[in-house]
Amino acid sequence: MTGDKICSTVLKEIVPGEGEKKALLEFAEHIISRIDEAAKELGVDAHGLLVGSVAKGTWISGDLDLDIFIMLPETISEEEMESLGLQIAKRVATKYEERYAEHPYLKAFFGGYAVDLVPCFSVSNPASIKSAVDRTPFHNEYIKARINGLENEVRLLKQFMKGIGVYGAELRTMGFSGYLCELLVLKYGSFLNVLQSAKGWRRGVIIGIEDHKGHEHDAPLVVIDPVDPSRNVAAAVSLDKFCMFIDVSRTFLKTPDISFFFPPEVKPMTDDELVDELKQRGMDVFAIVFKAPDVVDDVLYPQLYKALKSIEELLHRNDFRVFHGDVWSNSNSVILLEMEIARLPPIKMHMGPPVESVTHAEKFKAKHANCHPYIRSGRYAVEIPRKYADVNALLKSELQTCSLGKHVSEAIENGYRVLKNAQIIKIDDEEFRVFLRKYFRKR
């Protein structure tokens, strides 16, 4: 099948039908009118505004998540904006969870719909925004004014990115946002043209949508926000997600296949498969397991990655070698460490001062008198017991000295386990087993 043929097949799956469209927009209008009413009742000069992919007409069929902003006057204080906005939202929603990004908002549930009700300042232009959410209505306007006719190209790009695992700007994924997909389609005119361009991208590439001059950004991909030229829309894209997109774009253009959009479902690894895999790889694998702290992914994942990095440094400082590490979280959080070297001899060499440094030499010899200091390459040296001869002992003693991030640190203080090799089958969570299969097969 050619690329074009595949695209039309994919579109059949992902373009919402008229019924879905109508129902979604009617529902959105209904919520907005309830926001407007609630504002009036509370005597607040506020109104609802549909933003996000539904507003822009670029959502993928079946994605029934709505973003509705509660626009409040820019003259009030941040605290007032937050509290009035939440008051209005709570009048509209009956079933909801309070969430927190830069500001608090509600994730509300109405039948099959999930609606993010987000208070923000209604500002006159993007230069006067007070927080990142205030920018969203301007992104919305920008796309709505230009996307006409390209909606399905955006849908293709989003579905492609979902399929290959680079979609989503959250800090768990560090990939491409919906807005970024829309801008790329505007810039290059079609889904396939975006891929053609991506084929030749190099890290540090700067893409301007309008004729704006960009600012300096230290990121693999820079896409200048037409609404705020000082901002890099692709700031969240990690080097590896950037590279994956380039790599898969090349492969797709050469050998297009529908499986890029709809990859086979990844089945959870069974106990037997896991034990087999560990045996074949012959490396000691450690899982540090603790109850996931009750914070959103965008707070949790940076802390988990930070913890992973800090633990890897601890291991290196103690002469162990990490082959690869990763993190995962659901109700439990897991820091996974696959070790090239997880055991060391009980003694190690400890080098002292050069023989010429008389004062240091005397101190060193006195300190290590019972270890028989000798001379090696002009310095004193002793063989001393190694503090930690295996990873388990090191983690048990020193894990909490690592920079783990506030919430992860607290969670670990409340208790953690270190599972080794086959013990990992104790983590009986389907999603973790999916993560493990991806870890071992597709990394």
Enumerate binding residues for its own copies (CB under 8 A): 199, 201-203, 220, 239-240, 242-244, 246-247, 250, 280-283, 323-324, 340-341, 344-349, 354-356, 358, 361, 372, 374-378, 380, 389, 441-443
CB of 196 to its own copies, least distance (A): 13
Residue 264 or 346: the one with the smaller Cβ distance to its own copies is: 346
Residue 213 or 372: the one with the smaller Cβ distance to its own copies is: 372
Annotate the chain with three-state secondary structure: CCHHHHHHHHHHHHCCCHHHHHHHHHHHHHHHHHHHHHHHHHCCCCEEEEEHHHHHCCCCCCCCEEEEEEEEECCCCHHHHHHHHHHHHHHHCCEEEEEECCCEEEEEEECCEEEEEEEEEECCCHHHCCCHHHHHHHHHHHHHCCCCCCHHHHHHHHHHHHHHCCECCCCCCCCECHHHHHHHHHHHCCHHHHHHHHCCCCCCEEEECCCCCCCCCCCCEEEEECCEEEEECCCCCCHHHHHHHHHHHHHHHHCCCHHHCCCCCCCCCCHHHHHHHHHHHCCEEEEEEEECCCCCHHHHHHHHHHHHHHHHHHHHHCCCEEEEEEEEECCEEEEEEEEEECECCCEEEEEEEECCCHHHHHHHHHHCHHHCCEEECCEEEEEEECCCCEHHHHHHHHHHHCCCCHHHHHHHHCCCEEEEHHHHHHCCCHHHHHHHHHHHHCC
Percent helix / strand / coil, the chain, rounded to 5: 45, 25, 30
DSSP β-bridge partners for residue 106? 98, 117
Residue 91 or 348: the one with the smaller Cβ distance to its own copies is: 348
3-state secondary structure of 226: coil
CB count in 10 Å sphere of residue 50: 20
Residue 244 or 258: the one with the smaller Cβ distance to its own copies is: 244
Residue 340 or 410: the one with the smaller Cβ distance to its own copies is: 340
Q: What are phi and psi of 326, to 5 degrees?
A: -155, 170
Residue 161: both structure tokens together:
């990115």
CB of 283 to its own copies, least distance (A): 4
CB of 245 to its own copies, least distance (A): 10
CB of 414 to its own copies, least distance (A): 33
Residue 5 or 376: the one with the smaller Cβ distance to its own copies is: 376
CB of 439 to its own copies, least distance (A): 11
CB of 426 to its own copies, least distance (A): 23
Residue 136 or 318: the one with the smaller Cβ distance to its own copies is: 318
Residue 145 or 358: the one with the smaller Cβ distance to its own copies is: 358
Which amino acid is residue 420, in one-letter code?
Answer: K
3-state secondary structure of 135: helix
CB of 443 to its own copies, least distance (A): 5
CB of 166 to its own copies, least distance (A): 11
CB of 243 to its own copies, least distance (A): 4
> What is the rounded distance in angstroms from the CA atom of residue 132 to the CA atom of residue 169?
14
CB of 188 to its own copies, least distance (A): 19
CB of 304 to its own copies, least distance (A): 18
Residue 66 or 322: the one with the smaller Cβ distance to its own copies is: 322
CB of 154 to its own copies, least distance (A): 25
Residue 283 or 425: the one with the smaller Cβ distance to its own copies is: 283
> What is the rounded distance in angstroms from the CA atom of residue 236 to the CA atom of residue 233?
8
Which amino acid is residue 24, in one-letter code?
Answer: L
Residue 60 or 344: the one with the smaller Cβ distance to its own copies is: 344
Residue 153 or 312: the one with the smaller Cβ distance to its own copies is: 312
